[in-house]
Amino acid sequence: MIEATLTVMADKGMAEFSIADVATRSGVHESSIYRRWGTRDALIVETLLDNSEMLIPVPDTGAVRTDLTALVTEIIAYLSTDRGRALNQVLAAGGDDSRWAAVRLEFWSTRLARTRPIIERAIARGEIAADADPQLILETLIAPLQFRALIVREPFDTHFAAALVDLVLDGVGISAPPS
């Protein structure tokens, strides 16, 4: 069902996505889909989350820098595929009506919550300050990926993930203003 749903989303976009198309593509009756997921939006969110869990696992290497580099590298690999680009554009371009805003919010808040342990483990190990904001750190890492993939549509080079993680973890190194 995940494969059929992803294909319909990538082919039709959010506005034209329908349970009927998913049912046809997967060879099941629409009522089976409604019985399992209840709503079209629930099917979309669960499919996106399951797909991202499968393709972008949450790493646990024992060090925050390698965890975040692995996470960013996996996101880049996903965004560099045809399907990854298409689904990312679908999610971003779904519109601002309340239904799509709710789908987008549920996807991103769940995905950020699932990656939050990377930062929490780093805080527990003393690699990051105890008062660090895990969500802000993760959003700061993910935003440039989304910008590059959706807005400027530039490819990622092989050093982008490590450079981005270094920038976020080390800061920009601004010195104090001259007195």
CATH number of the structural domain spanning residue 76: 1.10.357.10
**160 part of a folded domain:** yes
Q: How confident is the model at residue 87 (pLDDT cuts 50, 70, 90)?
A: confident
Q: 11-15, 37-41, 160-164 — which is least confidently predicted? A: 11-15
**20 part of a folded domain:** no
Contact 20, 43 (CB under 8 A): no
Say which residue, 172 or 37, is predicted with more confidence. 37
**83 part of a folded domain:** yes
**33 part of a folded domain:** no
Q: Which residue type is seen at 21? A: D
- C-alpha 129/C-alpha 122 separation (Å) is 9
- C-alpha 66/C-alpha 72 separation (Å) is 10
> Is a pLDDT exceeding 70 seen at residue 173?
no
- For the chain, the first-to-last Cα distance in angstroms comes to 63
**136 part of a folded domain:** yes
**99 part of a folded domain:** yes
> Per mean pLDDT, which of 1-5, 30-34, 63-67, 168-172 is the most reliable?
63-67
**96 part of a folded domain:** yes
What SS3 class is residue 61?
Answer: coil
Contact 20, 8 (CB under 8 A): no
At residue 67, the pLDDT reads: 97
What SS3 class is residue 37?
Answer: helix
**49 part of a folded domain:** yes
At residue 42, the pLDDT reads: 82
Mean per-residue pLDDT, 85-102: 70
The residue segments making up the domain with residue 83 are 40-170
- C-alpha 71/C-alpha 118 separation (Å) is 9
Domain count, the chain: 1
- C-alpha 102/C-alpha 107 separation (Å) is 8
